[in-house]
Amino acid sequence: MLYLVTYDIPDDNRRLRLAKALKDFGERVQYSVFECLLDEKLAGAMLERVKKEIHEDEDRVRVYQLCEGCKKTVKIFGEGMLTEDQDVYIV
């Protein structure tokens, strides 16, 4: 499943920690936007990590789950492409 994670965090340190955490789960596509291709277990781990890094009374994070049908309607203008699952992984 594709998850779109956006955030607005006023504190520089928390914002940096969250960005580093999200890099473990997906690709940064804009400054405060990540696309993450995750199964249910990894999605749960990502959400727990997000909750751990933020202050809910000051920060704003939105996580959108996009189904295959919705994914097909995404339009990208300018540089970039929709994050896709790799056929081959190099470890």
CA distance 4 to 33: 7
- Nearest of 41, 61, 39 to residue 50 by alpha carbon: 61
Question: What is the pLDDT, as a whole number, of residue 89?
Answer: 45
What pLDDT, on a 0 to 100 scale, did the predictor assign at position 13? 96
pLDDT values of the chain reduced to their tens digit, one per residue, 91 residues: 999 999 999 999 999 999 999 999 999 999 999 999 999 999 999 999 999 999 999 999 999 998 877 777 887 788 777 777 665 444 4
pLDDT of residue 82: 76
Q: How far apart are CA 30 and CA 91, in angstroms?
A: 26
Looking at the DSSP bridge assignments, the partners of residue 67 are: none
